[in-house]
Structure 1
Amino acid sequence: MFSQTSIKVFSIIALCFVFTEAIPRLAKWRRCRCIELQDRLPLASKISNIKIFFKHAHCQNFEIIAKLKNGRRVCLNPSADEARNMIASMRKKRKV
């Protein structure tokens, strides 16, 4: 049979593994997604997807993330003209 000490040590090791797996997942949602903002998209870039994230409890910024066809993700400055034009064209397409 196992002694109480070995069971405690095993339990502590198991809890350490559980917490080391859970912490990165929790931290992912507790911050803003965009660190660096760009006013313009790179030249000759083709957009495959655009995601818009509104302000929430863990991030007070309005964020626009454009995924390009080459797999790169670019965070656009929401107050830049290019981002505003994209949002306006998306609204027009949605109304039609």
Structure 2
Amino acid sequence: MEENFGSGRGLESLLRVPVTLQVVLGSANLPVAQLMKLGRGAIVPLDHRVGEPVDVVVNGRIIARGEVVVVDEDSSRFGVSLTEIVGAAGGEVPR
């Protein structure tokens, strides 16, 4: 018998499937020689600028974009406020 995902039990099973969510602030391309020289305190410039949206990625696919926000009153944790949901044609994140 085929299980209908519209039914309560099938949908509940699907909703428990774990996914990996990442927030990508930016990326950089470095030669291995430059990578080997990095040490504590080194700064790696990214391809995104301050104020630009960050990518929200689930299992390697961009699903949304948003802004980095502070979520705790003591400013010790960050979160993302979603500003755009990417459609089904959203691109995969280069690896």
Fold shared, TM-score > 0.5 on shorter chain: no
Give the structure with the larger strand fraction.
Answer: 2
Give the structure with the larger helix fraction.
Answer: 1
Give the greater-gyration-radius structure (CA). Answer: 1
